[in-house]
Amino acid sequence: MNANQDPFSLDGECALITGGGSGIGLAIARCMVEAGARVVLAGRREALLAEAVKTLGGAAGYVVHDVTRLEEAPHLVRQAENAAGAPVSILVNNAGIHLKKPAVETTEADFQAILTTHLCAAHALNRAVLPGMLKRNHGSILFIGSMASIFGIPLLTAYSAAKSGMLGMVRSLATEASGQGVRVNAIAPGWIETPMMRQALDGDPARRDKILSRTPAKTFGRPDDIGQAAVYLSSPAASFVTGVCLPVDGGASIGF
């Protein structure tokens, strides 16, 4: 970085964002484009992705992809690089599904589906992008964790296992890759206004009240709050930040 360069700029970077067609992923894409990056969104619903890309302008593209098809991760990376005309230098493991169920009702299939979407898919994609990043000595891998990565929330056994597991992956991978120019971090969003949060809280006013009562900022977050944090963690401003989980939560994780 030269002295005149904005340390928060993502000029020249190419970000692959899973689940980029909606909610937090789309906000990350918007903020990264504003910071100068090219972005490629991946998800299962083509109409959603096409609509999202229209709002992002010429620096954005998409690939229809189901992250649970683990063996297709290298193909996704190749398609993303073709769409962007550049190697992927930022990977955002954001795609996710929610499951709110008592532990005794959570079947093995439920549990496996959550682990596959959040953890196994992230591992497959990391493996697909890492060789190139390590060769170029440059890259940022971000995981989107959760408050369930940090503390116990009832009815979320499978989701909590996945989101807590992410933090172990972040720490381990950071120790392997950071010496070769690839930083690995997570963001733990608090409760952010998205379709997933509405699904999780609709019909559960008690949980909604509990969240707000323990959030010092007294409000839910906006997707852009996570988007800007993702820009920071992927930018030269964070060049000495690796292996961390940054809560972006209005203080929920330290509230009483």
Q: How far is the CB of 220 from ligand NDP (least distance, A)?
A: 8
Binding ligand NDP by CB under 6 A: which of 13, 14, 17, 23?
Answer: 23
Residue 207 to residues 146, 202, 211, 217, 241: CA-CA distances in angstroms?
Answer: 16, 10, 6, 17, 34
- Residue tagged active-site, from 111, 159, 220, 232: 159
Quick one: which segment of 82-90, 95-103, 123-131, 169-177 binds ligand NDP (CB under 6 A)? 95-103
**Is 91 within 8 Å of 108 (Cβ atoms)?**
no
Count the Cβ atoms, other than its own, within 10 Å of residue 200.
19
- Give the span between the Cα atoms of 41 and 171, in whole angstroms: 25
Radius of gyration for the alpha carbons in the chain, expressed in angstroms and rounded? 17
List 106, 126, 185, 194, residue binding ligand NDP (CB under 6 A): 194
Confirm or reject binding of residue 64 to ligand NDP (CB under 6 A).
no
DSSP-derived letter for residue 102 is -
Q: Are 52 and 77 in contact (CB under 8 A)?
A: no
* Footprint on residues 102-131 left by ligand NDP (CB under 6 A): 117
192 counts as binding ligand NDP under rule CB under 6 A: yes
Query: Toward ligand NDP, which CB reaches closer, 138 or 214?
Result: 214
Nearer to ligand NDP (CB atom), residue 68 or residue 253:
68
Q: In terms of DSSP H, where are the helices of the chain?
A: 23-34, 46-56, 73-84, 108-115, 121-136, 157-177, 195-201, 205-213, 223-234
Strand partners, 40: 16, 61
By CB under 6 A, is residue 139 in contact with ligand NDP? Answer: no
Find the angle CA(30)-CA(32)-CA(34) to the nearest 5 degrees. Answer: 70
With binding defined as CB under 6 A, does residue 250 bind ligand NDP?
no
Q: Is residue 196 near ligand NDP by the rule CB under 6 A?
A: yes
Q: Is 21 in the site for ligand NDP (CB under 6 A)?
A: yes
Is 62 known to be catalytic?
A: no
Which residue of 32, 122, 158, 197 would you call a contact of ligand NDP, by CB under 6 A?
197
Q: How far is the CA of 67 from the CAs of 41, 72, 96, 116, 246, in angstroms?
A: 12, 8, 9, 8, 24
Q: How far is the CB of 193 from ligand NDP (least distance, A)?
A: 7
Q: Tell me if 45 contacts ligand NDP by CB under 6 A.
A: yes
Least distance between ligand NDP and beta carbon 199 (Å) = 7
Q: Which of 5, 13, 11 is nearest to 84 (CA)?
A: 13
Active site residues: 159
Please report, as ranges, the residues that interact with ligand NDP according to CB under 6 A.
18-19, 21-25, 43-45, 48, 66-68, 94-97, 117, 144, 146, 189, 191-192, 194-197
